[in-house]
Structure 1
Amino acid sequence: MDAATVLLILLLIIVVVVGAGVTTAGVLLYRGGRGVARRVAPVSRARRGALVYRTRSSDPQRRGLAVTRLQLQDSLAATNRSLSVAVDSRQQVGNLGYIVQTLNHAGSVLDRQLAVAEKDPDPAIQRLYAQTLGTQSGQVLHTCAGVRQALARTSQPMTAVDISTLTRRLDVEAKVLDNWAATYTRLGNP
């Protein structure tokens, strides 16, 4: 065997080894990512289940705080889904992405504060938390609903009024084109 053949065989072996290593690493990363996703999902479902359980608590203060947290999480999740669908369908969203991002930040801060309030042993302090955080949560819930309504309004199909206006404009354009064609034809034939 000459040197070129040996070099070619060595290069092929290196390519096969590197290809196998990259493929193996890709499969391991893919499976690892799926495993992480599977491990995270049950935790969030478990947390939500615990929160739902607390909404049925006999303590009215804790129950109220848990209900507020649940409403806040549900509203933010619905707003994020609405924005995601709008962006995926290439709907004009304007500055709503930034607004939703700000709402998510405010919601996470409120959620942490509500969680702390639930754990406070003094009912008077919990009542104070509920009043203060309830007002702020109400503002976030109202803004979330406003964002979803704005997204829904911008995705509405054309109404009959829009179509009739378009039909009238089309009739006018057709008449103008007919008149132009007649005038142009007369100018061309003396």
Structure 2
Amino acid sequence: MDFGTVLLILMLVIIAIVLGVGITLAVLISRGVVGLVKIGKPKYESAKRSALKVRAESSTGPVAEILKQRVALAEALEATGRSLAVAQGAGQYTGNLEPIFTSLQQAGKVTEHHLLVAQQEPDAAVQALYVKTLGTQVEQITKTATGVRQALAGTAAPAGDVDLTDLTRTLEIEATMLKKWAQTYTELGND
């Protein structure tokens, strides 16, 4: 081989190595960024809700009520979403609770939008009217969200006493039979 061919082969090897390292770094960085976003999103939402709580407590008049309704709505939907996710992750039967919760989330988004509009309203009298009408919707959504969580808790009830009593009785019978078998086996060995 002449010098030009060797140089060409070396250049191709170097380019392949640089491309391999570049692609590997790009994949690692993109996965790291996605991971950070997944980790950071709940913390961001929690910080946002905490700031909203502080604003609700420090505000007065209809604005304070609107902010409190926003907090109640967000907390109810988040708690219900977490409960449903945990139940599904554990393999618990959830029936039609997931579509119910999806509809509840959609109603919550619409209500949240209306609450944001109400919050921006410059007239306190109009804000008070928003508080009255939207308060009913927020209450319905939070009660339904609580109902979903209660339904999940109801299906997660432990086995009843009847099942445990039957299990205990079966265990006692089995223990008695093993004891008699051991005695019979020992007596046969002594003969």
User: Deviation at 1:104?
Assistant: 1.2
Letter in 1 for 2:134: L
The question of whether the paired residues in 2 share the 8 Å contact of 1:72 and 1:141 is answered with yes
1:66-105 paired onto structure 2 within 5 Å: 66-105=67-106
TM-score, normalised via structure 2 length: 0.72
User: Deviation at 1:119?
Assistant: 1.7
Letter in 2 for 1:92: Y
- Partner of residue 29, structure 1: 30
CA distance in 2, matches of 1:29, 1:64: 42
CA distance in 1, matches of 2:151, 2:48: 31
1:160-171 paired onto structure 2 within 5 Å: 160-164=161-165
- Partner of residue 58, structure 2: 57
- Partner of residue 44, structure 1: 45
DSSP 3-state at the match of 2:119: helix
Q: Are the structure 2 counterparts of residues 82 and 166 from structure 1 closer, same or farther at C-alpha, using a change threshold of 3 Å?
A: same
The question of whether the paired residues in 2 share the 8 Å contact of 1:52 and 1:70 is answered with yes
Moved more, 10-19 or 139-148: 10-19
List runs of 5+ in structure 1 lacking aligned partners.
Answer: 171-190
CA distance in 2, matches of 1:42, 1:152: 26
TM-score, normalised via structure 1 length: 0.73
The question of whether the paired residues in 2 share the 8 Å contact of 1:54 and 1:62 is answered with no
Letter in 2 for 1:62: V
Moved more, 82-91 or 23-32: 23-32
The question of whether the paired residues in 2 share the 8 Å contact of 1:69 and 1:114 is answered with yes
Q: Are the structure 2 counterparts of residues 158 and 15 from structure 1 closer, same or farther at C-alpha, using a change threshold of 3 Å?
A: farther
Letter in 2 for 1:44: E
The question of whether the paired residues in 2 share the 8 Å contact of 1:91 and 1:155 is answered with yes
Alignment RMSD: 3.2
Letter in 2 for 1:115: L
CA distance in 1, matches of 2:17, 2:27: 15
DSSP 3-state at the match of 2:57: coil
The question of whether the paired residues in 2 share the 8 Å contact of 1:86 and 1:93 is answered with yes
Letter in 1 for 2:55: R
Q: Are the structure 2 counterparts of residues 86 and 39 from structure 1 closer, same or farther at C-alpha, using a change threshold of 3 Å?
A: closer
CA distance in 2, matches of 1:106, 1:21: 46
